[in-house]
Chains A and B, each alone.
Chain A
């Protein structure tokens, strides 16, 4: 360490440190603008000038290294005059409309003007002609007339990222920050990492409005895929691991947050992809394609030969506490897995003859090969979770009496039927029951030749595509139209190719026929409809004369599911419309009306996706653990990671096309009905796709600059 004096104050500094860094570290403010903790020194703003005793003139404190005993003066009339003049020179070409700037109130330049008491007044106004060359681009808002050429963005691009896209350009004597040959960012090979935005001290470079969510902490919002993922998997990290061929690391990173990575690689509803910033980049479609995050997850798991993550992670000493988990779906098994790791003795109670809930009894094999789910369930069982099959819990209070805690993860296992005439006919079923029967190997002859499925959500399409593979003619009808249809677009497209006939925007009047024989579904076309969440009522405007009957031999409702706890005479906890509720507020929450009984997953959220059920488990486990006397900590690091800020150059990066997993033709899909419809990436394909990641997480590593107001001595 080195001792020196700044304005008479003795401070300690690290050898080799600059005077500026030493002062800032000691909470002494020296004005600066071009300096940034993550960037090499350029010393071009001349605001950090100081006097060093024994040396002539002024020095830039960002360049001067600390020396033992050196005495530095940072405040004098002359120094302030120099700083003000430098600032005035920069401002001569800067717009005056601060309030119209996107960074108003958060602008370093603006705060420095306040600190130095400088206004746009003395200098002759300079009009810059080159600042707005090719500023159009998909992600970064570039108002280059606000640029003061401090060079932070250029150094971030060249030195920090090694991307080499931004540079100082010069035209007619005017210096401006631009790209090689003034190309638009997309053509210049920009990696769209937004490091330039992160370091810009003015409103010249800002994120496009609406790019990030504003209802989450700003730092988290920077990585939209991770924010959107209900389990908050460190997606950029595992994509990077895939790119680098570290497949076991990729799986380890995924497993830090979820227990069924392989399953999710097939059936996740990939909310992460809806957040992916890449969808704003590239010319392929209106918005450009998001990264195929789910498919890369599947690839990683299927290429994870070493499974090194298995030997890592926490495992706490046994507590002797007994926990019962009701339901063995993704929520129940994840809850059991973590509670067991926390040291509790966990038993899962499953009413069906196999573990897995909807993963093994609802999802068709063409979407999710059963053996992969079973492998992942077995891993949880092998970790020490006990289970009882064919054991339906009808009285949770009795179960609680035998255990220290109970967690209800019973899901929504009962299908709902719409109350229309004929819904009680013999050949009227629910999709969830039909899918379970197909899984159990039962014949579907009872459905007849043609079925009509009401409801086009994920379950509706699972049922439709399953039945069409079994030789049944399938019609699917729903109230929604176009983009509003709940099922994934790929399900709709593939279903159509496979022969499913879709009736969109229909309202259901009655099931035609007799109680013993359905003959059709009477519907009419709806011009518009609104759903009132509070009352659950649908108000519709019907098209006159549009009534028709869709002929069919049976009808299947895929119009929602319910927990079914209210089917029991006395389940033992307070329920509202069949959902367990927290008596404190009457809402379905993890806490129930019975002390020591908790709830999680679809049983409180309503029907949802596997990833959300896992996220629910990760929410409830800490609560249960704390109730049992633990600390509730389940975070674990299975893979140590370092982020390399140097992403380098890739020509045409923004134009790289999305690599899709090969999809079987419709004829092949029907000829091989239970085979997965997609073929996993090859290593090269996975690397290509992973390379497209913008690595938004790197931006989190860029140091935040402190404004002068944040220093003690200023």
Chain B
């Protein structure tokens, strides 16, 4: 049920056609799941927002070396956390895309999109969600006052 909700606007993993950028698709999944979430659950709200943020950075050439691992880590936790079906399914799909298209994903870190989609229209990747405004995460840890 939840899958239908967010796959109404993007193709499901079974109906993906050749030439679809897997990272762009994952970004669409993250955004759709975030939209479908009731916003109460940290995984659906902040987890999907974070994934969309990272994926947006990947598709616009702003990714950092460990971003793919971070996506894997976040998705791993979300898929096994109880009580968040939308985000759990979405995370599983993103993880599926990552595992099955690792080379494509990895190339995005080097600003290479095999499908030639991401660099041609970077604005589209970041549009609509407020992502991409301040993409670079803080480095060095421990600098937070908390």
Interface, chain A (partner B; CB < 8 A)? 42-46, 49, 57-60, 63, 81-82, 85-86, 89-90, 92-93, 96-99, 110, 113-114, 119-129, 149, 151, 168, 170, 172-175
Interface bits B66-97 vs A (CB < 8 Å: 1, else 0): 00001001100100111100000000000000
What chain A residues lie within 8 Å of B46 (beta carbons)? 89-90, 92-93, 126, 149
The answer to the question of B43 belonging to the interface, with a C-beta cut-off of 8 Å to chain A, is yes
Q: Is the CB of B135 within 8 A of A124?
A: yes
Given contacts A44-B40, A122-B137, contact A58 B80 (CB under 8 A): yes
Which residue of A57, A86, A98, A123 contacts B137 across the interface (Cβ within 8 Å)? A123
Contact of A151 with B40 at beta-carbon distance under 8 Å, contacts A126-B50, A129-B130 already known: yes
Q: Contact: B139 with A127, CB < 8 Å?
A: no
| Residues 42-77 of B at the A interface (beta carbon under 8 Å) | 42-43, 45-47, 49-50, 53-54, 57, 70, 73-74, 77
> Chain B: interface secondary structure?
loop
Let me know if B141 and A149 touch, CB within 8 A: no
Given contacts A44-B40, A96-B144, 8 further A-B contacts (CB under 8 A): A58-B82, A82-B81, A86-B77, A96-B138, A124-B50, A124-B135, A173-B34, A175-B39
Cβ–Cβ contact A42 & B74, under 8 A: no
Chain B positions 112 through 134: 1 when the CB is less than 8 Å from some CB of chain A, otherwise 0: 00000000000000001110011
Tell me if A149 and B81 are in contact (CB < 8 A): no
Q: Once the chains bind, are B137 and A60 in contact (CB under 8 Å)? A: no
A45 — which chain B residues lie within 8 A by C-beta?
42
**B129 to A92, Cβ gap below 8 A?**
no
A44 and B81 contact, CB distance less than 8 A: no
Given contacts A81-B77, A124-B53, contact A168 B38 (CB under 8 A): yes
Q: Which residues of B contact A174 (CB under 8 A)?
A: 49, 129-130
- In the complex, A675→B101 CA distance in Å? 92
**What is the predominant secondary structure among interface residues of chain A facing chain B?**
loop
Distance in Å: Cβ of B62 to nearest Cβ of chain A: 9
Query: Which residue from chain A places its CB closest to the CB of B145 in the assembled complex?
Result: A98
B15-45 interface mask toward A, CB cutoff 8 Å, 1 = contact, 0 = none? Answer: 0000000000000000100110111111101
- Bound-complex Cα distance A82 to B83 (A): 14
Contact A46 B81 (CB under 8 A): yes
Find chain A residues with CB under 8 A from B57 CB: 124
**Is B8 at the interface (CB under 8 A from chain A)?**
no
Tell whether, in the assembled complex, residue A119 and residue B144 are in contact, meaning their CB atoms are under 8 Å apart: yes
Count of interface residues, chain B, beta-carbon cutoff 8 Å: 43
A63 to B45, CA, bound (A): 20
B146, A98: Cβ atoms under 8 Å?
yes
Q: Chain A contacts of B77 at CB under 8 A?
A: 81-82, 85-86
Assess the B50–A123 pair: CB atoms within 8 A.
yes
A333 to B: closest C-beta gap in Å: 59
* Contact A126 B40, CB 8 Å, known A59-B82, A85-B74, A119-B142: no
A contact residues around B129 at 8 Å (CB): 172-174
Q: How far is the CB of B84 from chain A (nearest CB, A)?
A: 8
Distance A420 CA – B83 CA, assembled complex (angstroms): 84
Greatest chain B CB density within 10 A among A49, A97, A122 is at A122
Partner of B50, one of A92, A96, A149: A92
Residue of chain B at shortest CB distance from A177:
B39
Query: Which residues of A lie under 8 Å from residue B142 when comparing CB positions?
Result: 119, 121
Q: CB-CB < 8 A to A99: which residues of B?
A: 145
Q: Which residues of A contact B145 (CB under 8 A)?
A: 96-99
Among residues of A, the one whose C-beta sits closest to the C-beta of B45 is A175
Inter-subunit contact B43/A121 (CB<8 Å): no
CA distance A327 to B130 in the complex (A): 75
Are A44 and B41 CB-contacts (below 8 A) given A58-B80, A173-B31? Answer: yes
A187 smallest CB distance to B (angstroms): 23
